[in-house]
Structure 1
């Protein structure tokens, strides 16, 4: 007789004698040989629960049951096959339909009679009851731990060590991610900005998923939550897959957000799916665009739908976050096409023609060299000042000059140092403010060929800050026309 051997080991049973993979394999091989059966294959689910049949080896075996590749399924114990009465009936019906028998090496079952089926069902019901009882005990223990402010196992998230100790540098990065998101960026844009600045998660890149998880995780607000969300957003118990009440408690660990800050983030996330926000729309300038009046971030929204000759239409625009949240700023809203036009006008002012670009680039490189030379010279002068200070102090100690002479000379040295440091600061500022002429030219040439995501990525890569302003408070004029406005300051990454 051809026999298929099925072996299952749950994570918490792997170390127990007789239930390891090798322990079950050796016993089942011996049993099959004693019956003079031919083993056709082994189906092994290592580390899977018996709560359902969604196991790789189980699914493969059921597929081959229909192919009738064997005559009997052999297991060490019934609970290795399943702990669910419903699944047991499903398996037995599938075996019967394909003339496949079932056999346990340590239990006596007869599945060909009504009494035999009753007995095996009774044993299956006992296994299911045992699993439920264990789960209830575990959950009771978990609930008690949460009530006491203790985290019931699991890996601590980014921001904490493996033992739950607070990491200030990582906490600051989490707060920065939240600030970028609250400024109007989406998950992907936040990830791109942090990655471009080299601010990684322990050497790994941020993704939209990690940003989303970080902003949603209540642990950062001092809240312990046991339970996970399913695809419909409902909370489920992660151990059993059943819909149960999610458990919350106040932890005793150091939080990164206050509860008020965490609730504000969740409220903002919820608002982005309604009230004009659209997660499916791409706002090219979010993350870089700033209000020229108050300096606050400007974020993208959609106008309400309106009918046109071509159907319904919604327009993308940007609004100052200070105006939106507290009405403390009166900068008008800007349509995205208006910001786009102002950006192209700015680029045209910098880019005249290819020849000029080369000359400008050459000039910039020359200026950069001069700036670097100035910086090096200033640093050498500071080193000389430090050396002279030490010499005056030594001469005073040795009695070679008076205390008044030392004071006069040190004051002169301090004044000279201030002048050098001011020059150094101005030189470095001038160097960082040089426009990236060639990259601007490339942006203007490629812009019409890029899709929405590529446009946004290019803006975030090239620009650090784009300040927009207008002399108007309530622009009036022809509908859809561009009112008087300008980019008052542009800084580059």
Structure 2
């Protein structure tokens, strides 16, 4: 094929454009265009990836991907780039272009004139250069990892994208920090991921990117150990190392939040967000199972021992708890020893590990369905009791908020659904008995409220 008939594509890339002006790409373009003019080729396409690294094969390079598709579609038979490492830093990708040059006659030229993949000497040079470039990338990565580990061990914030609530140097950003504290406070007080996101959005509180909060973005905040002042390297907390920045949440609060987020129910469609006051909270007095909402207006247990109209039960529970919170001695309801929280957190972790092990054994076929259910039901029952006790020991929970209000009864009555549920669970156990058949009058004796000591 005569040289003059070649259709040339240009590929331009720079790893980091610090100014955002694309000046380095512009310089590459000028030199590539000169080669096309000197060789009498026809420029037919240009592909650009500005401020995108080629070192990580997992990183998406839209320009490069479009270049590959254009070549496969036969849109060009000559490729001009500033240097081979602008085109790729991946040996496997280089071999694709070598195959194209050998098998299909692609003319690949670099602005520095060092590469000609149509010759064996050119291919040898390209492979050696690629190996050297790859080695440099690996050495740079090793240096960066060592530096990152050292920073973490010294309690310094990691380099890179800053964490919401802090500057890149780890200084507190007041408005963002208050937003982070509020997210922990809401969730710790009994709100779910969904309801926390709804509350923030309803109040006009947007995420740092200006978008509304969603359960995923709320979870990202809640699971970051750095907010508890813990140093992190490669996704793991460095034990015994405290960050040299202001912690936005107490250690015990963070640990309880992680325990809630690890609730096995969150891995299923059931979730933890609720539509009714007593769903999953009230208990059947006959079988001890939690009741759920049914037919839009009722509560019933799985075995249908009880089937109660929701409105009457909820109103009675609200009235009883509101009356209890209106007494002068309401503050004594929170008198719980803080030193009992740590062993509860540890036990909840052990029980969740047992559930994970049971799941793995069942998936691997080591145990059958009968043994699986017997094993997990026992663990789940204990986990439920442990985490209920944990919520009772929390500081800064919905109960704290209610009892710290000028009018605790009003604060409870006006709180969100999830906050009212958290208060009820912390204060008492509600057990439902069968109502009288055919009776249209609510009988308070069929709702047993036992105050927790």
* Residue of structure 1 equivalent to 2:9: 4
Q: Distance in 1 between matches of 2:161 and 2:32?
A: 37
Partner of 1:49: 53
Deviation at 1:278, TM superposition (A): 5.3
Structure 2 residue aligned with 1:267 = 259
Aligned with residue 224 of structure 2, among 199, 209, 217: 217
Correspondence for 1:69 among 75, 87, 93? 75
Residue segments in structure 1 that go unaligned for 5+ positions in a row:
228-234, 236-244, 290-297, 301-316, 321-330, 350-427, 437-458, 488-493
Asked if residue 318 in structure 1 is aligned to residue 272 in structure 2, the reply is: no
Contact 1:332 1:475 in 2 (8 A): no
Q: Check whether the contact 2:190–2:418 (CA below 8 A) recurs between aligned residues.
A: no
Q: Does the C-alpha gap of structure 1 residues 97 and 247 become closer, same or farther in structure 2, counting only changes over 3 Å?
A: farther
Contact 2:432 2:448 (C-alpha < 8 Å) held by counterparts: no
Aligned counterparts of 2:91 and 2:289: Cα–Cα separation in 1: 66
Q: Which runs of 5+ in 2 are unaligned?
A: 1-5, 301-307, 317-405
Give the superposition deviation at 1:86: 1.9
Instruction: Check 1:254–1:319 CA distance in 2 against 1; reply closer, same or farther (3 A cut).
Output: farther
Deviation at 1:170, TM superposition (A): 4.7
CA contact (8 A) 1:6 1:42 kept: yes
SS at match of 1:318: coil
**1:88-125 CA deviation, whole Å, 9 max, x = no partner?**
11232245444322111203333234443222111111
Count of residues in correspondence between the two structures = 325
CA distance in 2, matches of 1:200, 1:25: 41
Taking the aligned partners of 2:273 and 2:115, their CA distance within structure 1 comes to 68
Tell whether 2:292 aligns with 1:335: yes
Residue matched to 1:164: 170
Q: Is 1:188 equivalent to 2:188 in the alignment?
A: no
Cα separation, 1, equivalents of 2:146 and 2:448: 63
Taking only aligned residues, the RMSD between alpha carbons, in angstroms, comes to 4.4
Q: Given the superposition, is the C-alpha separation of residues 344 and 121 from structure 1 closer, same or farther in structure 2, using an over 3 Å criterion? A: same
Q: Note if contact 2:188-2:253 (Cα within 8 Å) is conserved in structure 1.
A: no
User: For 1:474-493, what aligned pairs fall within 5 Å after superposition?
Assistant: 484-485=446-447
- 2:214 matched to which residue of 1? 207
Match of 1:149 among 152, 155, 164: 155
2:250 to 245, 258, 263: 258
Q: 1:99 to 1:185 in 2, by over 3 A?
A: farther
Evaluate the alpha carbon distance shift between residue 161 and residue 486 of structure 1 in structure 2; reply closer, same or farther with a 3 A threshold.
Answer: farther
Cα drift, residue 485 of structure 1: 3.0
Q: Which 10-residue stretch deviates more, 111-120 or 28-37? A: 111-120
Query: In the TM superposition, what is the alpha-carbon distance from 1:257 to its structure 2 partner?
Result: 2.0
Tell me the distance in 2 between the aligned counterparts of 1:251 and 1:76.
44
- Alignment partners' CA distance in 2, 1:472 and 1:12: 61
Length-normalised TM-score, structure 1:
0.55
Please say if residues 165 and 173 of structure 2, whose CA atoms lie closer than 8 Å, have aligned partners that are also in contact.
yes
Deviation per residue, 1:165-185 (Å, 9 max, x gap): 335665454344224324544
How far apart are the structure 2 equivalents of 1:224 and 1:169?
Answer: 23
Q: How does 1:26-425 map to 2 (within 5 A)?
A: 26-51=30-55, 52=57, 54-161=60-167, 164-167=170-173, 170-201=176-207, 205-227=212-234, 250-270=242-262, 272-273=263-264, 279-281=268-270, 285=274, 289=277, 317-318=280-281, 333-337=290-294, 338=298, 342-345=309-312
Decide whether the 8 Å contact of 1:145 with 1:152 is kept in 2.
yes
* Residues 82, 155 of structure 1: alpha-carbon distance in 2 compared, 3 angstrom cutoff: closer
Instruction: Say if 2:191 and 2:418, in contact at 8 Å, map to a contact too.
Output: no
Q: Which residue of 2 aligns with 1:452?
A: none
TM-score, normalised by the number of residues in structure 2: 0.59
